[in-house]
């Protein structure tokens, strides 16, 4: 089993100071992977800068020019949550382009699957606005790249970041060739991702939101994956699976209030890997989104690579949360299944 990894030192040059989304996230991840010898098992993939025409499959030319201009002026705020330094534009180009390299490498069979350790993250970025630490929507750009250039007809995007990927949803809300599935704390930033957001026009039914009540954890996430994601994916039959992998649903991440553990993430990635094996020749690519507890994000990335490599080893220094879960999940699950025409048996 060959697993690719995208990383480039330029990602560290996106200097956000003491912002929660800072370069220390990647520094500790890379240090952890080196110390645990996981790097020795991976195929390194060299990132490149995304081209203007690739960015423009999602973003307006005016927005791209604005991002470049802010960087050339030494940095600044794109929105209240999203800051830039002088090198942030280049880092953002290499984040988007790095994921394109991963997608192309998997589709061409150079590696079986891949994880792109990129920043800045992307799933909140819309066509014309930065949002929530995100500059360019890396996963949306990658999906369009596969559809337009690599002979892929249907893409499944799975987003398990604790925040809803409003930018990704917006990019494909009317597109029948992209199935977007998201688990996220709700109500929470950015305020989107309600159950009734299911797509429109030709894309009706290809947006599947599974909003989560604060406090739900492994059991609820795994049921959402097995009882909603799996049947809608089997019905859609994707040829490629892209994942916005955010590790901020972990119980120790202070930016949110979910109760997922590292073994919970391992179970979710295992479901995704099994779906990819069954439906699309194993073509599975993950892109790093959120996750702000440094110990958690390092161990979670390590464990994710283990799953991709076919190992059952779980790196879990923190264990599981013992907090009592809020009620109401069975009724919530049943409502989502009815909305998306999923039988009670799955």
Enzyme catalytic residues: 124
Place of tokens 């002979």: 151
Report how far apart, in Å, the C-alpha atoms of 215 and of each of 145, 190, 260, 263, 306 are.
37, 18, 9, 17, 27
Say which residues have a Cβ less than 8 Å from residue 274's Cβ, sequence separation at least 6.
Answer: none
| Cα 202 from Cα 264, distance rounded (Å) | 34
The SS3 of residue 226 is helix
| Cα 258 from Cα 250, distance rounded (Å) | 6
Nearest to 248 by CA among 20, 80, 88, 26: 20
Nearest to 98 by CA among 78, 122, 79: 122
Token pair belonging to 162: 């604790």
């Amino acid at each position: 089993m060959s697993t690719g990894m995208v990383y480039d030192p330029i990602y560290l040059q996106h200097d956000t100071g003491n912002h929660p989304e800072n370069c220390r996230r990647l520094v500790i991840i890379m240090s952890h992977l080196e110390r645990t010898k996981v790097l020795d098992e991976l195929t390194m993939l060299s990132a490149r800068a995304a081209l203007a025409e690739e960015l423009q499959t999602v973003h307006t030319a005016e927005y791209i020019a604005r991002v470049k201009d802010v960087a050339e002026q030494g940095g600044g705020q794109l929105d209240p949550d999203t800051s830039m330094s002088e090198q942030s534009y280049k880092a953002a180009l290499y984040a988007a382009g790095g994921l394109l390299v991963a997608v192309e490498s998997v589709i061409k069979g150079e590696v079986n699957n891949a994880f792109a350790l990129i920043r800045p993250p992307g799933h909140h970025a819309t066509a014309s606005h930065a949002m929530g630490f995100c500059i360019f929507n890396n996963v949306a750009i990658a999906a369009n790249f596969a559809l337009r250039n690599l002979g892929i007809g249907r893409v499944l995007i799975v987003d398990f970041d604790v925040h809803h990927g409003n930018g990704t949803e917006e990019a494909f809300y009317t597109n029948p060739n992209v199935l977007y599935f998201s688990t996220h704390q709700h109500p929470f930033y950015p305020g989107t991702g309600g159950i009734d957001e299911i797509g429109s026009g030709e894309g009706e039914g290809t947006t599947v939101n599974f909003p989560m009540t604060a406090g739900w954890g492994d059991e609820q996430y795994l049921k959402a994956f097995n009882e909603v994601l799996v049947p809608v994916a089997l019905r859609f039959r994707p040829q490629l699976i892209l994942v916005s992998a955010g590790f901020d649903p972990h119980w120790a991440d202070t930016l949110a209030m979910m109760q997922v553990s590292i073994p919970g993430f391992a179970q979710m990635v295992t479901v995704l890997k099994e779906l990819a094996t069954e439906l699309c020749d194993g073509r599975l690519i993950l892109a790093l989104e959120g996750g702000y507890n440094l110990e958690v994000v390092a161990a979670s990335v390590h464990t994710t690579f283990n799953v991709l490599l076919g190992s059952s080893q779980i790196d879990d220094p923190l264990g599981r949360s013992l907090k009592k879960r809020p009620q109401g999940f069975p009724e919530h699950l049943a409502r989502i299944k009815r909305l998306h025409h999923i039988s009670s048996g799955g």
